[in-house]
Structure 1
Amino acid sequence: MSAWQRAGETSDPASLLGRLADGDRDAFAELYRTTSARVYGMALRVLRDPGYAEETVQEVYLQVWRTASSFDPARGSAMSWLITLAHRRAIDRVRSEQASTDRDNAYGAADFTAEFDGVADAVVHDDERRAVADCLETLSAVQRSSVDLAYYGGLTYRQVAERLQVALPTIKSRMRDGLARLRDCLGGPGDDSRGWNRG
């Protein structure tokens, strides 16, 4: 008797994986139908975003289609294998998103204008909009007014200086300090603050 036959009946996930390893498309459809809800649940718990979770489920089942033969029923249940694949994919997605954020932050630390755009990008994302608004409240009145006029009002530094009747270098300093505080509040790397002193 083969390992696949020992795994259980033909309708359970292990047997479906065995048939799938032989290229059985019907087995794949049945496996997806009977297990995808739990795989999605795992992805959603890690990612906390339905769209990302759905994409991760698609990636998991694509991997299953390609590597079903690597499942070994002697090492654990088929459902555990699928959940493990989902968990790893979801963690990889989290790490990828964090790496992308870190790259954006590193680029912004080297260039003031790019950092300003980075804050704007954060505002655009729904899940970060509230955090940005809360962090704006931590700024001093002069920092907040400078950032508000430049970002929300679309004014240049010179126009902000004229509006507030403050010297241009002072406005630039307020903006730099304000954005640095926003970055710290939003969880940016602490040692990148040295980049604000450039230029």
Structure 2
Amino acid sequence: MVIDGVEIPEDGASVDPADRALARAAVGDQRAFAELYDLLSARVFGLILRVLVDRSQSEEVLQEVFLEAWQTADSFDPDRGRARTWLLTIAHRRAVDRVRASQASRRRDLAVGTRDLVAPQPGVDDEVELMIDGTRAVRGLGELPEPQRRAIVLAYFGGYSQSEIAVLLGAPLGTIKSRIRDGLTRLRKEMEATR
């Protein structure tokens, strides 16, 4: 049987109205799609609501399901199942995805909240101590030999890897590693001496 240019198989039984509407929607028939929505939206919404419980989220997912159905209607194969089953499968998958996304969001929020409770925010005294340590570090850097200072500045303030520093300074990688290690040791001693 051909309806509006779409072939719908005849097997002696009457064709389900939802199957007929989806077949016509697959070729861009907007009225047929509206008919499909009228036929199945209540059942699809009921399934989504059972999974999500939240009515507003269920309404959003219902819109997503029918949008996906409109966009992929041409992929529906009537030989593999019915339109109702196809739409309910899409709805269940989308609802479960929404539950998983909500759970992941709650876990992230809980982790951030727990971290904030466990790790108190720095107070004024902590910030002053950091400024003093920063001043000591700058003074200590000034006391280092030029090769050590350049290697440390490139590594910690320039963000370069030790290999990149070796290329920039034209020195062997082992030499750069030694300059950074020795420079940090001297810097630590300088900062401890000025405490």
TM-score between both structures, scaled by the size of structure 2? 0.54
Gaps of 5+ in 2: 121-195
Bigger Rg, structure 1 or 2: 2
| Aligned with residue 97 of structure 2, among 75, 92, 101 | 92
1:44 maps to which residue?
49
2:40 maps to which residue?
35
Gaps of 5+ in 1: 116-199
- Shift in Å, 1:109: 2.5
- Shift in Å, 1:27: 0.5
Identity %: 51
1:66 maps to which residue?
71
Alignment partner of 1:5 is 2:40: no
Aligned CA distance change for structure 1 residues 46 and 112 (closer, same or farther; 3 Å): same
Q: Which runs of 4+ in 1 moved over 3 A?
A: 1-4, 7-11
1:195 maps to which residue?
none
2:150 maps to which residue?
none
1:107 maps to which residue?
112
**Match for 2:114: what amino acid?**
A
1:53 maps to which residue?
58
- Shift in Å, 1:114: 9.1
Aligned residues: 115
- Shift in Å, 1:16: 1.0
- Shift in Å, 1:82: 0.7
Aligned CA distance change for structure 1 residues 108 and 71 (closer, same or farther; 3 Å): same
Given that 1:9 and 1:15 are in contact with CA atoms closer than 8 Å, whether structure 2 keeps it comes out as no
